[in-house]
């Protein structure tokens, strides 16, 4: 696989990141930085060239770059995050996608959209109705993607759609049926096993905190790359949140 991985290094204030559905546990900024470096190295080794957004040390949630932009082909939809504190993250990401030659458009007020609520598989785009993404944001995304089928999805007690479900390379959904209602859902052995980043071919990236799910996926013939992202998981983050893969 050959493509670009848009990422952003965590800053010294990462421990102040927002939490909604989990208790706040202490986060080690230095460990988070080392884990992020290992995560980026895993993407690089799989053929995804890292491109960094500018540091944003005053914005604790900035390493969760997925929430700021949705990339469909050569179109970059710049989001309007549901948490007002996170909206300043978007400007620096806009500069990067323009430098990469993508066409950029924006979700406008009163719409809100977090990229973590957007799951693309084939010609279908599933979008979670969440505390961060509203119906207006979903409608605007659908209007910006006329060649895609945009499907709203209800959520229960989870931050983002991709906090509950992702898709394997063959399009099979893997996730928590108590949080999201989608057909043919493969149930992971651990909560973190719901989060998978397809890297190309039969290779997927997932968290080291889901070893039983990794074993299940290997039995299905997938090549699993595991990374430790424990400090980001304390902030409701997962392997999908920390990058945007661009072909």
Q: State the catalytic residues.
A: 160, 241
Q: Of 36, 43, 49, whose CA–CA distance to 203 is shortest?
A: 43
- The answer to whether the beta carbons of residues 214 and 226 sit under 8 Å apart is yes
Peptide bond into 22 cis (omega under 30): no
- Helix (H) / strand (E) element for 29: namely helix 29-45
The C-alpha atoms of residue 234 and residue 229 are separated, in whole angstroms, by 9
The encoded tokens of residue 146 equal 């006329």
| Dihedral angle over CA of 11, 14, 15, 19, nearest 10 | 170
Burial of 174 (0-12, 13-18, 19+ CB in 10 A): buried
Secondary structure (3-state) at 242? coil
Helix, strand, coil percentages for the chain (3-state, nearest 5): 30, 25, 45
Question: Using CA of residue 60, residue 63, residue 64, residue 67, what is the dihedral sign?
Answer: positive
């Amino acid at each position: 696989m050959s493509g670009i991985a848009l990422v952003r290094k965590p800053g010294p204030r990462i421990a102040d990141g927002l939490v909604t559905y989990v208790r706040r546990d202490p986060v080690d900024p230095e460990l988070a930085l080392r884990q992020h470096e290992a995560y980026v190295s895993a993407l690089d080794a799989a053929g995804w060239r890292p491109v960094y957004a500018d540091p944003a040390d005053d914005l604790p949630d900035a390493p969760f770059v997925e929430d700021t932009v949705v990339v469909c082909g050569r179109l970059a939809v710049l989001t309007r995050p549901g948490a007002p504190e996170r909206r300043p993250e978007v400007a620096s990401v806009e500069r990067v996608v323009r430098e990469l030659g993508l066409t950029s458009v924006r979700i406008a007020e009163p719409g809100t959209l977090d990229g973590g609520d957007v799951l693309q598989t084939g010609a279908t785009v599933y979008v979670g109705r969440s505390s961060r993404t509203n119906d207006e944001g979903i409608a605007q995304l659908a209007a910006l993607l006329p060649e895609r089928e945009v499907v709203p999805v209800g959520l229960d007690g989870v931050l983002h759609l991709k906090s509950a479900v992702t898709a394997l390379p063959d399009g099979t959904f893997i996730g928590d049926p108590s949080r999201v209602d989608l057909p043919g859902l493969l149930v992971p052995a651990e909560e973190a096993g719901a989060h998978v980043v397809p890297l190309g071919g039969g290779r997927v990236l997932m968290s080291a905190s889901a070893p039983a799910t990794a074993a299940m996926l290997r039995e299905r013939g997938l090549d699993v790359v595991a990374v430790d992202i424990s400090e980001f998981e304390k902030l409701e983050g997962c392997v999908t949140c920390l990058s945007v893969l661009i072909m």
